[in-house]
Chain A
Amino acid sequence: MNDAVPGAAVPLPQATTAPGPGLPKTATGISGLDEITFGGLPHGRPTLVCGSAGCGKTLLAMEFLVRGAMQFDEPGVYVTFEESEEELAQNVRSLGFDVEALVQRGKLAFDYVHIDRREIEETGEYDLEGLFVRMGLAIDSIGAKRVVLDTMESLFDGFSDMALLRSELRRLFRWLKDRNVTVVVTGERGDGTLTRQGLEEYVSDCVILLDHRVDEQLSTRRLRVVKYRGTSHGTNEYPFLIGEHGISVLPVTSLGLSHHVSDERVSSGIPRLDAMLGGAGYFRGSSILVSGTAGSGKSTMAAHFADAACRRGDRCLYLAFEESRDQIVRNMRSVGIDLSRHLDSGHLLIEAARPSLHGLEMHLAQIHRLVGELAPQVVVIDPISNLGYASQMMDLSAMLLRLIDFLKSKGITAMFVNLAAGGKPFDATEAGVSSLIDAWLVLREIEAGGERNRTLYVIKSRGMQHSNQIREFLITANGIDLLDVYAGPGGVLTGSLRASQQAREKAAAVSREREQQRRKRELAARCAVLQAQMDALRQEASMLDAEISAEWNESAL
């Protein structure tokens, strides 16, 4: 069992787990493999990895050892029958595995067993004790917990006494079991049998089959757990990648509906759009579909969303399948969205790839790997529409299903951009996944009055009140600007109809103003006239007054 390395700040993870009754398992550390085996390979037992040449057996075996040494502090012995230690080290150097350093530190040991039939003359009875001696020495010298035998086929090619070989192999696996080491044995695929030499006869606790197919110029690698005694396991084929960091297997997340749900809201990056979405934006962890025809502003919306995420400190993974990273940055800068500062700060990662580069399964596996590495809170996929190119086994909706489920299970808020062909704003694919999507925005260009104007509306947004209006928007030098809704007698107005309505209303306001001014002046004039009349009457009154007082004075005298 593993104990913490003395002096380490954090105890290393346990390799061996016993998830309930049944076999204890040894974690491989290989991305995805431990998930589909529910914990790893059978502890203290041999696992057979078979497949045709070039399908990745040696790499899987090597990664099992290297990760065992690096991640779980379990030293390992690589018994190689075909390639030398130098060749093996060379092959995995590009994956970032420094085999020589591990050998130096006593975490890995190699033994190159060279068997050449032409060199050997068989003269009587013998056994393979020499092999046992070598393996015992290697295991004891570093305290190995993991062993690889790559590939046992060479024993069959080298020695002709089949009965002896069989009994020695049985003895070997018993011996290994007694030493309580977890073993990976590689074997070459046979015609109609799992392995050419029938190794599955001896190694039957766990059998993994690797496959490498080329369909329509796209290569796909698949892995299948053919057998795993004593435990449940995924029986499907799982696509896997051999990438920069080793093997990544793509597990199918169970499509249960038991995701953790959040109440928190995240901004779309466009305040007025947030207002349309229940006043606060999308739910964190939800899935959002933005669909529309070409040029309708989808990528700009996606950029706003990514920008808003980075500004509030989230990490965003932007998967671009149409434009390059620099192109996106440049285009968005022209509308006032500065993505380069998020790239520099590390909050944003734009990964661009041609959809035709891989099959669909590979894209999915890549996305899994990137999400695992970056641990983003937000993911944008722009667009998903052209990923359906040359899909064979899996169609786009199935892939979206798995992808949406995967991202939801991680609590990642995901935005998918879909290009709808033709004049229709949404297509069959979207109709298929619409039940999985939490929020659906459609960008549509409306033709009215001889023009096309950009509008958007919210088809649905689960869990919140949302606006049902069709809102016109402009793409300005400061990004997307949602305009006020102009409702004329015939409905919502956009574009120049709106402009003319605006102008009309303005004109009406001006003329009302003018009318008021005129009335004011008219009243003022009338006031003045009355005032004048009043003055005149007053004048007359005072004159009369003066006359009366003058007459009074005269009569008094």
Chain B
Amino acid sequence: MSTNKGNHHPAAQESGAAAPNGATEQLWELRLYTAGQTPKSVLAFNNLKRICEEYMPGRYEIEVIDLLRNPRLAKEDQIVAIPTLVRKLPQPLRKIIGDLSDTERTLVGLQLRPRNP
């Protein structure tokens, strides 16, 4: 299912195909903050897509927010580093920064992997 989220660039929405049993599966809402199309943000997006397809196929929604188009959101959503990935759902809110090349740490950040002691 692709839902339009108001004033965001329509092409920046991505989600997996609808799951057969959607009601019981946890939906992941992810937001990726970028500042223009830079190599780091493209890399981050690709890494994110890959991870989502692998670990939560069909149960995710990625929203890309370009702060150069929407600068006010930087303050509202407390974004400092670029790129920043915010997991809105499931709760609690988690913030992950960087281009997501370190898959392990990304998974830890998304709480799909426990942190190593």
A and B are interacting partners:
yes
Q: Which residues from chain A sit less than 8 Å from chain B, CB to CB?
A: 111, 113-115, 119-134, 136-138, 158-159
Minimum CB distance partner of B72 in chain A = A137
Q: Contacting B71 at CB < 8 Å: which of A126, A128, A137? A: A137
A28 to B50, CA, bound (A): 54
Interface string of B22-60 (1 = CB under 8 A from A): 000000000001010000100110010000000000000
B97 contacts the other chain (CB 8 A): yes
- B residues in contact with A115, CB < 8 Å: 80
Interchain CB contact under 8 A, A125 and B99: yes
Interchain CB contact under 8 A, B82 and A123: no
Interface residues in B58-101 (C-beta closer than 8 Å to A): 67-68, 71-72, 74-75, 78-84, 94-101
Could you name 10 residue pairs across A and B whose Cβ atoms are closer than 8 Å? A120-B81, A121-B96, A121-B105, A123-B98, A126-B81, A126-B98, A129-B35, A133-B71, A134-B75, A138-B75
Interchain CB contact under 8 A, B78 and A113: yes
Rounded to whole Å, the gap between the CB of B32 and the closest CB of chain A is 12
A159 to B99, CA, bound (A): 15
A260 to B55, CA, bound (A): 84
- B residues in contact with A119, CB < 8 Å: 94-95
Taking A121-B95, A123-B98, A137-B72 as known contacts, 8 extra A-B pairs with beta carbons closer than 8 A to each other, sorted by chain A number, are A113-B80, A119-B95, A121-B106, A121-B109, A124-B44, A130-B74, A137-B71, A137-B75
Interchain CB contact under 8 A, B35 and A123: no
Interchain CB contact under 8 A, A130 and B96: no
Interchain CB contact under 8 A, A123 and B80: no
Interchain CB contact under 8 A, A123 and B106: yes
Interchain CB contact under 8 A, B96 and A120: yes
Interchain CB contact under 8 A, B80 and A131: yes
Task: Kindly name the residue among B74, B82, B109 whose own CB sees the greatest number of chain A CB atoms within 10 A.
Answer: B74
B19 contacts the other chain (CB 8 A): no
Rounded to whole Å, the gap between the CB of B48 and the closest CB of chain A is 10
B108 contacts the other chain (CB 8 A): yes
- B residues in contact with A158, CB < 8 Å: 80
Minimum CB distance partner of A137 in chain B = B71
Task: Kindly name the residue among A114, A115, A129, A134 whose own CB sees the greatest number of chain B CB atoms within 10 A.
Answer: A129
Q: Contacting A123 at CB < 8 Å: which of B33, B71, B79, B102? A: B102
Interchain CB contact under 8 A, B67 and A126: no
- B residues in contact with A120, CB < 8 Å: 81, 95-97
- B residues in contact with A136, CB < 8 Å: 71
Rounded to whole Å, the gap between the CB of B45 and the closest CB of chain A is 12
- B residues in contact with A125, CB < 8 Å: 40, 98-99, 101
Interchain CB contact under 8 A, A123 and B40: no
Interchain CB contact under 8 A, A128 and B80: yes
Interchain CB contact under 8 A, A126 and B82: yes
Rounded to whole Å, the gap between the CB of B79 and the closest CB of chain A is 4
- A residues in contact with B109, CB < 8 Å: 121, 123
Interchain CB contact under 8 A, B67 and A130: yes
Interchain CB contact under 8 A, B68 and A133: yes
Rounded to whole Å, the gap between the CB of B110 and the closest CB of chain A is 9
- A residues in contact with B44, CB < 8 Å: 124
Interchain CB contact under 8 A, B99 and A126: yes
A124 to B45, CA, bound (A): 13
Minimum CB distance partner of A136 in chain B = B71
Interchain CB contact under 8 A, A111 and B75: yes
A127 to B75, CA, bound (A): 16
- A residues in contact with B82, CB < 8 Å: 126-130
Minimum CB distance partner of A125 in chain B = B99
- A residues in contact with B106, CB < 8 Å: 121, 123
A140 to B83, CA, bound (A): 23
Rounded to whole Å, the gap between the CB of B105 and the closest CB of chain A is 5
A111 to B106, CA, bound (A): 28
A127-B81, A130-B79, A130-B81 known; A122+B97 contact, CB < 8 A: yes
Interchain CB contact under 8 A, A126 and B40: yes
Task: Kindly name the residue among A115, A126, A131 whose own CB sees the greatest number of chain B CB atoms within 10 A.
Answer: A126
Task: Kindly name the residue among A122, A136, A138, A158 whose own CB sees the greatest number of chain B CB atoms within 10 A.
Answer: A122
Rounded to whole Å, the gap between the CB of B41 and the closest CB of chain A is 10
A124 to B105, CA, bound (A): 9
Task: Kindly name the residue among A123, A127, A136 whose own CB sees the greatest number of chain B CB atoms within 10 A.
Answer: A123
Q: Contacting B97 at CB < 8 Å: which of A111, A126, A137? A: A126
A113 to B84, CA, bound (A): 15
- B residues in contact with A123, CB < 8 Å: 96-102, 105-106, 109
Q: Closest 7 CB pairs between A and B?
A: A121-B109, A124-B98, A124-B101, A124-B99, A123-B98, A129-B82, A130-B79
Interchain CB contact under 8 A, B81 and A114: no
Rounded to whole Å, the gap between the CB of A140 and the closest CB of chain B is 9
Rounded to whole Å, the gap between the CB of B28 and the closest CB of chain A is 16
A124 to B83, CA, bound (A): 10
- A residues in contact with B67, CB < 8 Å: 129-130, 133
Minimum CB distance partner of B73 in chain A = A133
A131 to B97, CA, bound (A): 13
- A residues in contact with B33, CB < 8 Å: 130
- B residues in contact with A113, CB < 8 Å: 78, 80
Rounded to whole Å, the gap between the CB of A332 and the closest CB of chain B is 61
Rounded to whole Å, the gap between the CB of A507 and the closest CB of chain B is 98
Interchain CB contact under 8 A, B97 and A133: no
Interchain CB contact under 8 A, A121 and B71: no
Minimum CB distance partner of B81 in chain A = A126
Interchain CB contact under 8 A, B75 and A122: no
- A residues in contact with B97, CB < 8 Å: 120-123, 126
Interchain CB contact under 8 A, B81 and A124: no
Task: Kindly name the residue among B72, B78, B99 whose own CB sees the greatest number of chain A CB atoms within 10 A.
Answer: B78
A317 to B95, CA, bound (A): 60
